[in-house]
Structure 1
Amino acid sequence: MTQREIFFVANEVNELGGVGRWQAHMARLFAERGHRVRIIGIAPPEVPMDLGTHPPFETLTLYDRRPRGRREPHLPLGGIAPAVRRREADRRAAAERLSRLFRAARPGAVIIVTQVWAMEWVALADTAGHPVVGMSHESFEASRRSSRFERVRRYYKDVDRLLVLTQEDADLWVGQGLNNVGFLPNPLPVMPAAPSPRTEKAVACIGRLSHEKGVDLLLDAWAEAAPRQPGWILRIYGAGDQEAALRRQCTELALDDSVEWAGQTDDVTGALARSSVFVQSSRGEGFPLALLEAMACGVPCAAFDCSPGVREIIRNGEDGLLARHGNTGELARQLVRLMADENLRDTIGERARQNVRRFAPEVVTRRWEELFDLLER
């Protein structure tokens, strides 16, 4: 195995969320295999994630505060405002800082750009002949609904490889005329020694309290499911800008006695160990780590079929249950099936724990290293 210098260039070094968790996990996995790893963030995070006391990788942030966007009004007769000139000069200086790091790297180094906003700086830098891998951590459809879609097509069309999370998404990007697309799944974040005992009458939901995560849809589904299985609670872990509105909705639906707001948690495995069912009601996902973690803990999952990543993780009826995207009545029925049947919970939970091993860290990391070798040829 060739030991390499691996640069992650991201929006932030340690932003709390799925991409930040994936990035820190992959950086640790590469470092454990002898690679020298550096994470370079463009700007400081809004909500930082704890990377631990002595992470096995280096970190660097280019700006002290988040730079403003490029869309600024010009002066009359085609002039450019002084503030715009200063921002462009700052951007070029930051890109030159990247260039110096890349030029100093030894042969065989690889540059992984984890988010397309960060690619705007890498595109200005001298990558010194090192392969550049650009990434999109969301589904094709989620990207198409956002401003990132055109930026992916613009900034990633000439990188050595554009990586997405599933074959289905890769095919859709190929249909946009990109001929450099591949796919790699997220690695399993954890594999506890023992599964959840699945004895507590608790359904867990773990994620940001944001519109995209669809907790409002979950509360509507829970309003149908809870009366059919008295004694069960829905335990919601997370924080976010929708919390106040969601709590009001919970009260309006008369669910306060069966919903527990557990707040943000750093102990996902512990939260899952106290659960017998996991539910995900997102409007969109990439390759959700929370589903992988729940399955690794042997907790049977019910989820909206909202993206190719969800379909790749859950084999419906075998190691989890899917409901049509946004269909709260169907999600309620899938929850009731799991809550009402201990044998079904145990069967699906154990199958999930076995099947999710196909995303084991050593499997995914080896595929990354094979890609590095291919790009070096």
Structure 2
Amino acid sequence: MSRPRVTHVVATDAFAGVERYVCDTVTELHARGWQVTVIGGDPEAMRANLPAGVLQFPARTAAHAVRTLWRRPSDLVHTHMTAAEAAAAPLKGLRFQRLVSTRHLAQPRGSSPLGRLARPVIEARLDAQIAISEYAASVIVGPSIVVPNGVPSSRLAPLPRERTIVVMQRLESEKDTALAVQAYAASHLAEDGWALRICGRGAEEQPLRALARDLRIEVDFAGFVTDPRSVLASAGIVLGTAPAEPFGLAVVEAMAEAAPVVASDGGAHPEVLGPDGVYFPVGDVQAAAAALRTVAADEAYAAAYGRTLQRRHSELFTIERHVDRLEVVYEEAWNR
């Protein structure tokens, strides 16, 4: 049997972690000969990160995604986030035959009004639900197939490590970026020439700037970065503060670049970083500061730790390994 035509749907006009994941995954699927279309995401950024042979259509909202799905029939639709699920589910059997969804957040479906309204239809029509980590699978509702995300291996020449602590995440309350600012201040690493760079945008940016002023420290608020891998490849330490991280795409990208990572012990961080990870208890500023000082104090240890994390990425979290697993999900859903 020939492979089904696949359409990935993310009903946003953004380009953040989910949209970057879609681009990486679709690029690998396309390289393996799958016929793939993408609906949603920031049009300029998506097209810049997708192969020339992949069609991409804008869809800022669920309504836009419905219209595009209706005009562009497919065989198997793979949705990302609840708005995309809500757009696709009513069209199953009309414009495509199989529905696969990846749950990128560690929370039950229905946290928003749209999700609550659409949940019965979505759950009745799903052929497969993917959780991006064991932790996420333990939180979301319904049976899930755990398929950890993957990211491409490093394609960069080794870069010198800067004395910079990098935080790369959405600046929203659930990421607890304030802890990064507080831990940096408590570590006193600025006195040794270390800087804190926060990459990302969100509602918490202005409160974070005010916090930095109150603590009388300088913080580089870099905003959205177009080349995150270069930033991570030159980072002295990458800091993950989220107390309930569903997976941690930037953490895994840091691993691929052999960057040493300090992370909270909550969410999926322990299953991603593994037994050699450097952790601090969720919300513990002083423990986070101590962990930063430990890694910063010993260049040889930091370099060896980064290489250990890079090997773990190569073994578990490459984009190739991810798509190997994803192909099995597609084939099983298609042959149901």
| TM-score interval (norm. to shorter) | 0.7 to 0.9
Letter in 2 for 1:7: T
**2:262 maps to 1:265:** no
Q: Which residue of 1 aligns with 2:299?
A: 342
Q: Which residue of 2 aligns with 1:359?
A: 317
RMSD over aligned Cα atoms: 2.9
Q: Which runs of 5+ in 1 are unaligned?
A: 68-90
Q: Which residue of 2 aligns with 1:135?
A: 102
Q: Which residue of 1 aligns with 2:174?
A: 212
Distance change in 2, residues 1:150/1:312 (3 Å): farther
**TM-score, length of structure 1 as denominator length:** 0.78
Following superposition, the deviation at residue 283 of structure 1 comes to 4.2
Following superposition, the deviation at residue 33 of structure 1 comes to 1.0
Q: Deviations over 1:86-127 (max 9, x none)?
A: xxxxx6x9747634533xx4xxx3210112112222222143
Letter in 2 for 1:31: H
Letter in 1 for 2:225: T
Q: Deviations over 1:50-85 (max 9, x none)?
A: 5318643112245xx647xxxxxxxxxxxxxxxxxx
In structure 1, C-alpha distance between the alignment counterparts of 2:189 and 2:4, rounded to whole Å: 56
In structure 2, C-alpha distance between the alignment counterparts of 1:246 and 1:96, rounded to whole Å: 39
Following superposition, the deviation at residue 148 of structure 1 comes to 7.5
In structure 1, C-alpha distance between the alignment counterparts of 2:223 and 2:116, rounded to whole Å: 36
Q: Deviations over 1:121-156 (max 9, x none)?
A: 222214356221022101137x68666774685344
SS of aligned partner of 2:38: strand
Letter in 2 for 1:333: A
Letter in 2 for 1:57: V
Following superposition, the deviation at residue 229 of structure 1 comes to 5.7
In structure 2, C-alpha distance between the alignment counterparts of 1:146 and 1:304, rounded to whole Å: 27
Q: Deviations over 1:231-258 (max 9, x none)?
A: 21112223333323222211110112xx
**TM-score, length of structure 2 as denominator length:** 0.87
**2:144 maps to 1:163:** no
The aligned runs of 1:1-377 (5 Å cut-off) are: 2-12=2-12, 15-41=14-40, 49-52=45-48, 55-61=52-58, 66=61, 95=66, 98-99=69-70, 101-102=72-73, 105=74, 109-128=75-94, 130-140=97-107, 150=116, 153-158=119-124, 159-173=126-140, 176=141, 178-179=142-143, 181-198=144-161, 200-226=162-188, 230-256=192-218, 259-308=219-268, 310-316=269-275, 318=276, 320-357=277-314, 358-377=316-335
Deviation beyond 4 Å, 4+ runs, structure 1: 93-97, 143-153, 193-196
Q: How many residue pairs are counted as aligned between the two chains?
A: 331
- More displaced, 335-344 or 234-243? 234-243
Following superposition, the deviation at residue 187 of structure 1 comes to 1.1
- More displaced, 325-334 or 239-248? 239-248
In structure 1, C-alpha distance between the alignment counterparts of 2:230 and 2:23, rounded to whole Å: 20
Following superposition, the deviation at residue 282 of structure 1 comes to 2.2
Q: 1:194–1:297: 8 Å Cα contact kept in structure 2?
A: no
